[in-house]
Structure 1
Amino acid sequence: MGKNHVYTTVEEDEKLTEVKFREIYNPPPTPAPGTVRTPEEIEADIRRQEAALERLFLITIQLPDTVLWIEPPIVCCWNTDKNYWTTDDIHDLKYNEDKFTVNFRTGQLRPIAFATSKYSNLPYQGWELKPNDDQLVFEPCFKPADTGVIVTIMGAIIVCEFEVLEVGIKLKSLQNGATKALQDMVDETFTLNELTGRLQAGGVDFFPSEDAPNLIEGSCLKHWTMESHLYHCMAHLCTAYNFTWSRWNVTADRRTIVQQMREYLQQHSESFEILHVTPLQAILVTATEVSAEYSTQPIEGLQFYPDLYSLIKGHGNAEVLEVVSSVPWRLVENVKDLLCAIKPCSYS
């Protein structure tokens, strides 16, 4: 037998025993205004705080690479007594942006989760809907079924580009992310439900719910019946027109939507015009995006049209009407559903 070995006789089976541990940490109070402390007192307080923190658990977690972390995550722990997630008892939180790790201290080991702002990309900085330039053919034989439609959403940080097709919605690009998370979705085609689920699970949410206006500053919520009907009209015109945001929309009232539009059939497209939509009518106005002030004066010779689609039917040229009349219905529905999910007119 080696002299460095120790042998112990165990008479009973040993079992792991749960020992409840809880260390309560109270952050030092903020000194009252005007309080003067000596350097020695400040150093003593720092030492006491460091000693109290040393008694807590130090936890380091590598953030999952399947989520696009737009901002530092919020660490939460589960309150077993009241059954909810809380940030209580999370101290000395540190986020390493280079290594994507989170360090923190806690006085009790409990289930831990990460939270982030659901709508950190809203309100949108801009948006655009247009035919796909890569596939658009400027020939008399061109048919809408030959091309898709590009929808670009410029969030506060992330820029998403979708290509809407008859068979579904393709994620064309996802820009400005700090990691390669969600890049495996690029050039894949999804249904709308699959697309929203994958993006939301990855930390990118461009699909505001009904309570979103209560959570997003700077939104301009519009009359939903008017807004959804406008999206349906835009979907019918998506292969012939280019639509984009207008700076006048955010200051317009709830029953008014303002955006820019132009024909997009010729290689040299027309300049943008301002479209003014209310629940009662749709008009093209004399104001421009660079006007000193907004005017609802309609362009000369424009008649009354109750919505955007009837405006184009009565005001558009023959070439546009021919293209619009042959848009595949599945493409129309897919474009309409995506716009209704994103709600660009209410959040830009």
Structure 2
Amino acid sequence: PKKKKKHTKKVRMSKAERLKKQQEEEGKKVMSSEAARLQAEIEEQERLERERKLEEIQKLEEKAEQNRDFELTELRHLLEENYSAIIRWKVDAAEKAEWERYMLCDGVPDAKDQRAVNTFVTLWKDYSDTDIEEELQLCNSAVKLIEALDELMKEAKDPELVPKYHDALIEVQEILHAKHLFIAEKLLKGASDNIDPDTRNMQTVSKHKNVTLCLWANLFKNPSFTGFDFQEAGLSFKLPEELAVSDIAVRILHTHYDHLSILSRLRHLPQKPIVEEIPPPAQQPEETRVGQNKSELLITNQDLKEKQIDKESVIPAQTEELSGHICSLVLSDGPSKLNSLSPPVPEFEEKEDDTEVVNLVQYTTLGGVFYYDLLQLPPQPIRRKGYTILQMVDGLKVFPYPIERSNKKECSDDPTEKPNKGACSPVGVSIVLPEWVIFMEMPLVARWDAAEGRWRKDGIINVSYEEAEGKISFEMESFQIFALMRNTFANFPFRGWELRPLGQNSAIYTVKGALIQISITIENSQCMLQVAQGRGLSHLVGKWMSGPALQKAMAKAGIDIFVNENTHKYVSICKKNPRIEQFAYDQMALYASACAFSWSKWNATCGEDNLVLQGCEHLKAGPVPEDSWNIYFVGSQRSRQLEITENSEAFSTDHAAGSEFHSTLIHALQDSMSPDGIALVRKSHYCFVDTVQSLLSATRPLVFS
């Protein structure tokens, strides 16, 4: 049978329901229409706001362009005035230092006077009738002469002078090495007269200004002897068992300087220096001009040199060096071809296939050099019936180790076979790190390869480092020259920085390094280091000295915050146009008496040809309040205060409300400065400005933070 179809009955809407639905549809239409109207109003408001901002920016640009000549001229005048004054001051200081050096009469010849150097070398070489103290004093004079010759080689502009300085340096080094052996020979020849009653051997420590000499003579020949600790010098050695009954002496000479790396640098320089591309001098105008080309601020040396006093001709080398202090600030729209503020210098030529060679660009010796020698004990005097019998020998002889010929099974009996370095026990040494240096990381131990003239990492085994005690121990295959090294760039990149005023011609510059934070207090031309952490820097912390002297002292102590031509190759940087960067440092130095400056995270996002930093007026004592900081944008054409803060979610180049566009940073700062603050910076001393600018240029915080 067929199924019956089910009929569904349609539900009819009531009149009220139809009315309600109709009202809902009409409401949706009204809401949609209202939303469209509101959206149109919003878009119109946004369009008007954009037009208003564009109009405002156009007016600000027009005003900035009108004021550009005045602002650039004012800045040029300030920089030129300070530059001229610092030139005069430094020339006078150089003349005074040269006169004081002449009147010192300390026995150290003038390194530039070849005749005086030759006389010193000849007399010292032939003069041997001296006591140990006098000989050590002459060694100290030789060290000063070597350092002076090394500086002259680095600064020499005449290529013909470099070989002369080089030959003199090598000759003085060779004599210095011979004199150190001569001193040890004198002491060892009288070893039997200075026997220690406890050990029945001879051991002595002789400390001088630049060297520490430790000597041990094996007189008793105790078979169970294993080593000795020179506690006074913080040095100890471990002697292999097979040497305990030999006629030997151990010399550990710790020189507080490193002359071997100089030899490595001189020996392994490439034939052709690797230089960075620099625009040819012909492209740079010879006169200072502002306003003729409004995209440039040119401050050249030619115009400044014409205004210098006649004293510049007295010491032209110093004047020429200082001329780079403010040289050729060219700000243009195009990217700069310069990659570094530092002058190009030859680079080291390292063997890429030899990973055991220490890269002296990346690593630097710290704490001096240790000469660890095993010597044949010279014949001792024999006294009988009032007579002294002494076998005459000339010089000290090295005791071969590993032993070339021995009756011991582990060493070869074949005299033609090279010694098996693994067959004899290694020699050990322990060092308490010098108190006048700071190692931020575990030191790298390297040995000197005299044949190659290089520092090497191989041949050093069983290294242990006790950081709390500041002690490192290790073993070597033989008695060798060694040194402790640090990573030159371990404290880079910086985690932040701040330059804060402390009053008229006074400021504090703080750098938060990767491993250590340091602060430098600046007063006029003097600087004082402050370190929150670090052992054994009492000779450096809290002492006033000039900026260049502080840089050398910090590098010698292992505190490196100063960049060189190779730093960017080993650490991550925030790449910037070096001309704009230098331009910013010059202006920051001018206003450092009243304005604080600090690191900004937005500097990494604003592009290579722009800079972003925090700044504000700060006339009160103490730290800068967080809400006082403003964000400043520095470009090739314009500088301005930005609307964003350090805590904003995104970067924006929108200018702060009420601020104006300027051609220089200092005029952008003046918009929010008080009359007292402006008056304060106008009275800044040229020595203070130069010192601040030098520190900023040497550390380059806008690139290496």
TM more than 0.5: yes
- Selected match of 1:244 from 574, 592, 598: 598
What residue is the counterpart of 1:164 in the other structure? 522
Q: Do residues 233 (structure 1) and 603 (structure 2) align?
A: no
Tell me the secondary structure at the aligned position of residue 228 of structure 1.
Answer: helix
| Counterparts in 2 of 1:236 and 1:53: CA distance versus 1, 3 Å | farther
In structure 2, distance between residues paired with 1:347 and 1:192: 20
Distance 1:235 1:17 in 2: 59
1:328 to 685, 693, 696: 685
Partners in 2 of 1:252 and 1:304 — Cα distance? 17
Q: CA deviation at 1:109?
A: 1.5
Q: Distance in 2 between matches of 1:79 and 1:57?
A: 17
Change (3 A) 1:314 1:292: closer
Structure with the larger helix share: 2
User: CA–CA distance in 1 between the matches of 2:632 and 2:469?
Assistant: 47
Query: How large is the Cα RMSD of the aligned pairs?
Result: 2.8
1:182 paired residue number: 537
Query: Partner residue of 2:89?
Result: none
Match of 2:568 among 200, 208, 213: 213
Q: 2:650, 2:670 → 1: CA distance? A: 29
Contact 2:659 2:671 in 1 (8 A): no
- Kindly provide the amino acid, as one letter, of the partner of residue 619 in structure 2: L
How far residue 282 of structure 1 moved from its aligned partner, in angstroms, is 1.2
Q: Using CA pairs below 8 Å that are at least 6 residues apart, which structure has the higher relative contact order?
A: 1
Which of 20, 23, 38 is the equivalent residue of 2:400? 20
Partner letter of residue 155 of structure 1?
A: G
- Supply the AA of the counterpart residue of 1:265: L
Structure 2 unpaired stretches of 5+: 1-388, 404-421
- The match for 2:435 is 65
Deviation per CA, 1:60-84: give whole Å up to 9, x if none. 2222111111111000001122110
- What secondary structure is seen at the aligned counterpart in 2 of 1:102? strand
- Report the secondary structure of 1:259's partner residue: strand
Tell me which residue corresponds to 2:479: 109
Give the SS at the match of 1:184.
coil
Report the AA paired with residue 598 of structure 2. Answer: T
1:130-171 per-position Cα deviation (integer Å, ceiling 9, x unaligned): 112xxx5xxxxxxx25xx111111112221111111131122
What whole-Å deviation, never above 9, does each CA across 1:153-212 have from its counterpart, x for those lacking one? 1112221111111131122x21122x1x22332222111110001000000011011210
Q: How many residues align?
A: 298
Deviations 1:273-328 (A, max 9, x none): 11111222211111111111111111234333122023234564433322222222
* Counterpart among 253, 264, 276 of residue 607 in structure 2: 253
Paired residues of 2:527 and 2:545 also in contact (CA < 8 A)? yes
1:343 aligned partner: 700
Partner of residue 218, structure 2: none
In structure 2, the residue corresponding to 1:119 is in which secondary structure?
A: coil
2:547 equivalent among 180, 192, 196: 192
Tell me which structure has the larger Cα radius of gyration: 2
Higher mean C-alpha deviation, range 303-312 or range 231-240: 303-312
Secondary structure of the corresponding residue to residue 479 of structure 2: coil
Aligned-partner Cα distance in 1 for 2:446–2:401: 19
Shift of 1:123: 0.9
**Is it true that 1:118 corresponds to 2:488 in the alignment?**
yes
Matched, 1:98 2:468: yes
**CA–CA distance in structure 2, aligned partners of residues 182 and 97 of structure 1:** 16
SS at structure 2 position matched to 1:91: strand
1:45 — aligned with what?
none
The correspondence for 1:87, drawn from 451, 457, 463, is 457
Residue of structure 2 equivalent to 1:153: 511
CA distance in 1, matches of 2:424, 2:649: 61
| Residue identity opposite 1:107 in structure 2 | E
Structure 1 unaligned spans of 5+: 1-10, 24-51, 137-143
